[in-house]
Structure 1
Amino acid sequence: MFAQLTSILLASAAVVPDAPAAQPDAAPAQVQAQVQAQPAADGDVVVTARRREERAQDVPIAMSVIGSDTIDKTGAFNVNRLQQQQPALQFYSSNPRNSSINIRGLGTPFGLTNDGIEQGVGFYLDGVYVGRVGASTFDFVDIDRVEVLRGPQGTLYGKNTTAGAVNITTRAPSFSPEAKFEASGGDYGYVQLKGSVSGPITSDTLAARLSASFTHRGGTIKDTTSDTYLQKLDNFSVRGQLLWKPRADLDFRLTGDYNVQNPLCCVQYYARLAPTQRPTNRQYAALAAAAGYTVPSTNAFDRVTDLDASINSRQEMGGASLVGNWDIGPATITSVSAWRYWDWKPANDRDFVGLPITTVSQNPSQQKQWSQELRIASNGKNTLDYTAGVFYFHQTINTQGSQVQGTAASAWLLNPTSADGKNPNVLNGLTSTNTINFKNDSFAVFGKLNWQPISGLHFAPGLRVNYDKKSGFYDSVVSIHNSQYDFVATAANAQAMLDAKTGAAKTTFQNQLNTLAPQQYSPRFSAWNVSGDVTLSYDVTSDVHAYATYARAFKSGGINLSGLPLASTTSTLTSIAVDLTKQTVKPESEDHFEVGLKSQFLDRKLTLNLAGFWTDVHDYQATVNNGQTTVIRGYLANAGLVRVRGVEFDASYRPSARVNLYTNGAYTDAKYLRFTNAPCAPELTGGTVTNVPGAAGPAGTPGALSPASCDISGTVLPGISKWSFSFGGEVNVPVGDGQVYAGYDGSYRSRFSSNPTVSAYTWIDGYSLSNFRLGYRQDSFNVFGWVRNAFNQNYYELLSTQSGSTGLIVGQPGDPRTIGATISKSF
């Protein structure tokens, strides 16, 4: 199959439908008000980020640009759908808060979100850094383009970005009246409406723009308990802008946006079973049989589940920004001031089965951020050009976590043959109430030069000095109120309460505290770091350009704010002390090497861009599973050394105005080179923990000893396919005054691991998706029908393990085939 797929790809040689591009080596992509992507006469994209026009092919960074037309016709209205067109981009989400954006496999640790972690892929909206991945899951509204930059970008960006950046640029207000409206409809009750209007308020100094979007889709997964369908969409977004140009050399752009999403999602459910080292009577099959429970289907693609708890993923996000540009002649001064917020209100069924085990597990969270960037960039095209800036970022997060155990918790989480396991009241109503606070301050001075000592040769060094200060507070209070037990345990009094008990009462209380441990701690982190890069590029000809880059980058250290593991993970704890050594994780340091070639042939009808990269990451920040059998969340840890290397290509062929073909591909080899104390795979957990080398039993053997940690050096990083491709094209024929056109967009990903530590049971098989469209367009009118996932490919977006080493693997299936139509009109 792979050989056939490769043949197809090579035969169709192409790039992203709009235009591949690269970020100018001395101009920040976040000068969004100044960057204008416009097609030149020969079809190339021209950018003016350095206050001068440049062909995107001339600039030495691997980058893809996806224009608004491609976004509209492919249905890529959010980051999740965008990844189908970008082989180097990975987006994972079990719900909006638990989302991650990675580029070339690096960025955010794979797994449940931790408030104290830094993201390595910068997400920018009109030049404003968005501080949480969850706040980037909004629908794209009135977008001009999306830029995906690969590799470290910290010497030109306000916020440090060690893995790359995703830049969203919206359409600016226009001094010529204009409007556009679009409506889409499809199966599963899909409806999407988009509209924008823009024009002058005064003839030549003040203009405005108003944009809005509404998306609704019914659910694709049936909940047999409530007889409702889950995984539905219900989104609304609105954006307003004012552009003021009091003088020809001065402009200000004021933007405000509001987004609300209230989907009935996100759900994971039975996918498969993985034998663990837990005793047989404490593994899923025996536990379900003892409870008289039968899952609705053991085939996840029957798309049916049986939740026993409420579910929702409501989030609200928005903000305001003011961008000013002042042309002082030899340079332009730019100011970007912004405030943004994100309000997350979830509901989950975190035991993943239709039994009242964990009836509540949720972390409502509110984020606020303020940022200020001031930058100066030279104008014109000179022998020596420069960009320099300062950046300040302040962020607060307040989270109110809670976890509540139900009537089935005792039998499921404790030994079902013990007295406590047989008594539902031991854990029924056991509640953990968590208060989590986070504050983050970041300051940076950065700059980049672009020196051309001789014609065609460019030397571009950059430097960044960065300071980060983070502080947090985590307080978990455990209580139970039922007919048999009634207590409130805090980190301060829990040990005394335990010591005061004897016999069976002490065992019961220990079981309760092992299930939900009271904790309180206040982690702190602060550090300076210096990073930099240098790029050497050469214009071989006017259409062939070569470059080489070395970057030394840092990602700030993090603090653990999802609770700490206990100091011991055996089943016979005599204390409830947490491991305070794991409050913080060290910064990542990164050595990045890249070489590339950007070329065009056949009178610029054929474009072929190549890039090879090698990145070594020291003290890689990973999200790891907790060794305790009853704790849902993991924590952050440092892996000694990670290596990511690979090759990418972007190609397009446009032989005429009637045909446009493209293909993009990436080979990525991402491994832990050194991670000697990692948590073990699920099949090696659940037994009595031993630190004796060689004493642990074979994987998946019930009752065998489990190792305290595992050496996973040489294994692959999670979430990364070794091979990934996107491919397709469009053809059209004239009909009357318009065109009939047909388009195809496909993507392929090879298998990838869906667990922080590789497990034989959490590999997601490779899959290919195909989207078709057929339509008619004339001038500003366009109508087309579309089919997405046309062959109804069954695939998982994520696989996860149920806490407690029961052996249950739950999955999140991707969307099934959808059919619909879109109509749009511009005025």
Structure 2
Amino acid sequence: MSIRTRFVPTLLTGLAASLGASAVHAQEAAPPPAQAQAPQDDAAQSTNPRGDVIVVTARRRTETAQDVPLAISVIRGDSIEATGNFNVVKLQQLAPTLQVYVTNPRNTSVNIRGLGVPFGLTSDGFEQGVGIYVDDVYNSRVAAATFDFLDVAQVEVLRGPQGTLYGKNTTAGAINITTNQPTFDFEGGAELTAGNLNYKQAKAFVSGPLSDKVAARIAVATTSRRGLYFNTATQRYINEQDNLGLRGTLLFKPNEDLSITLSGDYSKQDPECCGTVFVRLGQTQRPLNRQYDALVNAINAANPGRNYAVPSRNPYDRLTDLDSSLNAGNKIGGASLKVNWDVGPGTFTSVTAWRFWDWKPENDRDFTGLSVVSRSQNPSQQDQYSQEFRYNYTSQKIDFVVGAFGFKQRIDTQGTEQQGRDATRWSLAPSTDPNNVYNRPEVLNGLTAANTQYLKSTSAALFGQLSWKVTDALTIQPGVRLNYDKKTGFYQRIVTTGSGALITSCAPAATAGNAVLTAQCGVYQPQLTQPSVSDWNFSYDLNVNYKFARDILGYATYAKSFKTVGINQNGLPLDTNNQPVLSASTVRPESVNHYEIGLKTQFWDRRATFNLSAFRTDIDDFQATVNGGQFGTVRGYLANAEKVRSQGIEADFKVRTSERFTAYANAAYTDAKYEKFTNAPCPPELSGGTFVAANGSQTPSAPGTPGGLSPRQCDISGQDLPGVSKWAFSYGAEYNVPVTLLAKEGQVYFGVDGNYRSHWNSNASPSIYTNVEGYALTNLRVGFRGEGFDVFGWVRNAFDVNFIENLQVAPGNVGLIAGQPGDPRTWGGTLKFRF
């Protein structure tokens, strides 16, 4: 039995669970339990109608959010539950500058201000750009964002580079999640939710002392919901929710100066996921008889009586007919040991952690009910180990934090992709010759690519940040970080025919005169690459902030940051001889220059808060995703775009007029562009035709010209980055009235929240076919709450707005655009109680 297999049951029985996450606008957030209170003055307590102070640990120390000179959004745990945003994916409805796009848990993009993860298929060989931290533990894989929040105290979304304190993976920002900690007073609680689409969610926690020096906390959550799309091929709904989460925490506090916290968590998802529906067709430059409608007709003609047709061309019918197995089996968990020791005028902190992720996917990669790709799966097993040491010092004039960080990761992947019975007619040029490979289904049927790969990643860093209080009003804060990274990869693709014969080479000498082998090599080619790269990077920042008055803080920041070197882990593009381009094995690090100014204010006796920030981020050697567009080439790999720029303005407003009424409104304008990307992949309307001559003597055809000439690459300089809405807004309000109901004193309340995003593009190279229209969503809730209980009903997407979460270009340049429509109107009720 493996160490992991033995450890997880032991972990679950000894500890158990409360993963968490929440995020965003600066709403009131109660201080996380078991954390020191930030400095407060009597005026704040006497004039704030609620008396809450937003406490954060954004700078690795406890302080109030309004005293932190950076753009930070905060939301507390009970607000997450009230608005139904139960994971990071949902939180983008509350955070205008947070963008989260999911085609499956592995292919999850979490971006801030348009930057973070290259949009498109995910590779393990690069860093995220938006770091996700749970109780100071770095989660290296974005898949952690798809799990349910569990027993969360609050989430902080830090906008802009955070490389000094959070590391190389935070060029766009960080999501800092804090879970509730064990208490020495006994407490517990439970939450039950039910809704349409067979939605069921249950949460529970219990916390209390085991002795006068030891306390424990255990939490559990489970979520299930019927799938959104009906698959006519299997006669069942797909893209369901099936989540289980556990977390346990043990606190040992021998004295006031020392606390030791042991935590463990385990989460599991096992849905039939993640499928798409037909959205539209877009004409490419492939010959017309090799585009979607003609291909379907040709396959039907070759199979009398079959008469294949997509079940609906209206995506909001939410019908699909995917014929391959679907699965998004997902397990993630780990353990951490955190030590806080007050030493003299400062605090020493050690965080030791181990995490794992097991991923067992199955996909329908042709996005149709035809058997073009009959099997597609890339299961992986990931382990990471991290160690961080920090020392925080505080005095009247100087505060500083210094530390060291070490990280080690291993990822193993075993992939299989297999062609189906319709692949030959779908992928090969038509011919009337009965002996032509096009008329021989066995040529591609059963052709299989088996991929084996691993990644070893090692990282180490030294860092420090100083806050010099020059006067009571002026503070200068420089920070530095020295980082070393080494990445070693291995990728091997073995190709076999439907009869099991091994294809050893696709070089011209091997395929010359062999039409069958030429056709097979046009789909899969054997590859073997073993990239290895290491790099040193030095990042730094300088923040100057000035307190114009007690509740008015202005700041200016410059940050020089980086995203470390990457390697291509999913195979390499091919040269004209069908051989891997080895020079594409590695990608250069990103170089980031960031500028920001901001103003943080409170007024009306601190009943109202208004924060404003303006930023510009310039990135050289931006790590972008390049998509091949064909079944036979690597679907996505990393390459460097010469220059990218993101700039914009953000505003956050919150008001609490009394105990009866509170409201917030947030807005963001984000202008994120490729300033220079001259050798980008072409969008589908400029792909699929015959390549123009390499010597430049030919002119590409107009976009969408069937059988035309296609450029070898496209200059998309000046075009918008994918996934970014120029305008985004979120708002919310709640009003309550004190009442006595069924002999219970409490409040009847009504709440509303909503968000708007303008249009954005869903392809790495913006396409006229992948433009996603803007939309506005509105959520309502009404309930009754009192001491220890809360009962409310809710409606999400109250006006049943049709919207698209993501669009994908089907491989093969056939013009098919598939996608994932968002949730329709949903409704239900929630019961919460505490004791």
Same-fold status (TM-score > 0.5): yes
Offset, 1:594: 0.2
Spell out the pairing of 1:128-207 with structure 2 (5 A cutoff).
128-158=137-167, 160-203=169-212, 205-207=213-215
Tell me which of 472, 485, 501 is aligned to 2:489: 472
2:823 to 812, 815, 819: 815
**Given residue 410 of structure 2, which amino acid in structure 1 is its aligned partner?**
T
Contact 1:20 1:63 in 2 (8 A): no
More displaced stretch, 410-419 vs 702-711: 410-419
User: SS of the counterpart of 1:716?
Assistant: coil
1:675 aligns with 2:677: yes
Q: Within the alignment, does 1:388 sit opposite 2:396 as a pair? A: no
Which amino acid is 1:819 matched to?
Answer: W
Task: Specify the code of the residue in structure 1 equivalent to 2:627.
Answer: N
Indicate the residue corresponding to 2:330 in structure 1.
Answer: 315
Q: 1:415 Cα shift?
A: 0.9
SS in structure 2 of the partner of residue 155 of structure 1: helix
1:528 corresponds to which letter in structure 2? W
CA shift at 1:137, angstroms?
1.7
Tell me how far apart the structure 2 counterparts of residues 100 and 536 of structure 1 sit (CA, whole Å).
32
The one-letter amino acid paired with 1:231 is N
Asked if 1:705 corresponds to 2:709, the answer is yes
Q: Identify the match of residue 443 of structure 1 among 418, 438, 460.
A: 460
* TM, length-normalised to structure 1: 0.93
Equivalent in the alignment of 1:89: 98
Distance in 1 of aligned mates of 2:597 and 2:98: 19
Q: 1:38 to 1:148 in 2, by over 3 A?
A: farther
Correspondence for 2:475? 458
State the match for 2:734 in structure 1. Answer: 730
Task: Please tell me whether the aligned partners of residues 629 and 805 of structure 1 are also in contact (alpha carbons under 8 angstroms).
Answer: no
Counterpart AA for 2:389: L
| 2:70 aligned partner | 61
Amino acid of the residue matched to residue 362 of structure 1? Q
Q: Give percent identity, aligned residues only.
A: 53
Question: Is residue 2:407 matched to residue 1:377?
Answer: no
State how 1:8-157 maps to structure 2 within 5 Å: 16=25, 18-19=27-28, 34=35, 41=45, 42=48, 43-47=51-55, 49=57, 54-157=63-166
Map 1:578-589 onto structure 2 (within 5 A).
578-589=580-591
Q: Deviations over 1:278-318 (max 9, x none)?
A: 00110001001112221100001100011111101010010
2:18 is matched with which residue? Answer: none
Relative to 1, partners in 2 of residues 1:502 and 1:556: Cα closer, same or farther, differing over 3 Å? closer
Counterparts of 1:236 and 1:372, CA distance in 2: 28
Mapping of 1:276-675 within 5 angstroms? 276-292=284-300, 293-379=308-394, 381-417=395-431, 419-482=436-499, 486-490=500-504, 493-495=505-507, 499=509, 503=513, 506-568=514-576, 575-626=577-628, 628=630, 630-631=632-633, 633-675=635-677
Aligned partner letter, 1:699: P
Displacement of 1:525:
1.4
The residue identity in structure 2 corresponding to 1:369 is Q
C-alpha change, 1:728 and 1:425, in structure 2 (3 Å) is: same
Identify if the C-alpha distance between structure 1 residues 177 and 544 changes in structure 2 by more than 3 Å, giving closer, same or farther. same
Q: Is the 8 A contact 2:463 2:482 kept in 1?
A: yes
Relative to structure 1, the CA distance from residue 37 to residue 684 in structure 2 (aligned partners, 3 Å threshold; closer, same or farther) is farther
Determine helix, strand or coil for the equivalent of 2:801. Answer: coil
Write the distance in 2 (CA, Å) between the matches of 1:365 and 1:36: 42
Distance 1:644 1:17 in 2: 23
**Which residue identity is paired with 1:639?**
A
Structure 2 residue runs of 5 or longer lacking an equivalent are 1-23, 301-307
| Deviation of the 1:32 alpha carbon | 10
Give the whole-Å Cα distance in 1 for the aligned partners of 2:768 and 2:778: 28
Deviations 1:98-131 (A, max 9, x none): 1111011111000011110111000001110001
CA distance in 1, matches of 2:774, 2:169: 33
Specify the SS of the correspondent of 1:697: coil
Q: Residues 273 and 328 of structure 2 are in contact (CA less than 8 Å); yes or no, is this contact kept in structure 1?
A: yes
Q: Matched residues in 2 for 1:48 and 1:748: separation?
A: 27
Write the distance in 2 (CA, Å) between the matches of 1:375 and 1:64: 24
- The residue type paired with residue 625 of structure 2 is T
Deviation, 1:516, is 0.8
Query: CA–CA distance in 2 between the matches of 1:508 and 1:48?
Result: 64
* Alignment match of 1:219 (pick from 220, 227, 231): 227
Q: CA RMSD in A?
A: 1.8
Cα distance in 2 between the residues matched to 1:145 and 1:534: 27
| 2:747 maps to 1:739 | yes
Structure 1 residues 383 and 361, CA gap change in structure 2 (3 angstroms): same
Distance in 2, Cα, partners of 1:693 & 1:57: 61
AA in 1 matched with 2:541: D
Equivalent-residue separation in structure 2 for 1:413 and 1:638 (angstroms): 30
Contact 1:17/1:660, CA 8 A, preserved across alignment:
no
Given that 1:783 and 1:821 are in contact with CA atoms closer than 8 Å, whether structure 2 keeps it comes out as yes
Given that 1:38 and 1:45 are in contact with CA atoms closer than 8 Å, whether structure 2 keeps it comes out as no
Aligned residue in 1 for 2:303: none
Separation in 2, partners of 1:480, 1:135: 37
| CA displacement at 1:500 relative to structure 2 | 5.2
Query: Structure 1 residues 437, 629: CA separation in 2 closer, same or farther (over 3 Å shift)?
Result: closer
**1:797 matched residue in structure 2:** 805
Deviation at 1:631, TM superposition (A): 3.5
Superposed CA deviations along residues 603-654 of structure 1, whole A, max 9, x for unmatched, are 1111110000001000000001116464361111100000100000000111
Letter in 2 for 1:316: K
* CA distance in 1 between partners of 2:340 and 2:163 (Å): 22
Q: How far apart are the structure 2 equivalents of 1:600 and 1:397?
A: 47
Query: Is this contact kept in 2: 1:413–1:630, CA < 8 A?
Result: no
Distance 1:693 1:133, change over 3 A: farther
CA 1:257 to 1:714, structure 2 compared with 1: closer, same or farther past 3 Å?
same
Offset, 1:97: 0.5
Change (3 A) 1:67 1:556: same
Structure 2 distance, partners of 1:771, 1:38, is 36
C-alpha distance 125-51 of structure 1, shift in aligned 2 (>3 A) = closer
Q: Alpha-carbon deviation of 1:268?
A: 1.3
| Distance of 1:412 and 1:681 partners within structure 2 | 20
Tell me which amino acid in the other structure corresponds to 1:156.
L
- The two structures have a TM-score, normalised by structure 2, of 0.92
d(CA) in 1 for partners of 2:158 and 2:274? 29
Q: Are the structure 2 counterparts of residues 37 and 191 from structure 1 closer, same or farther at C-alpha, using a change threshold of 3 Å?
A: farther
Distance 1:222 1:151 in 2: 41
State the Cα distance separating 1:580 from its structure 2 match: 1.1
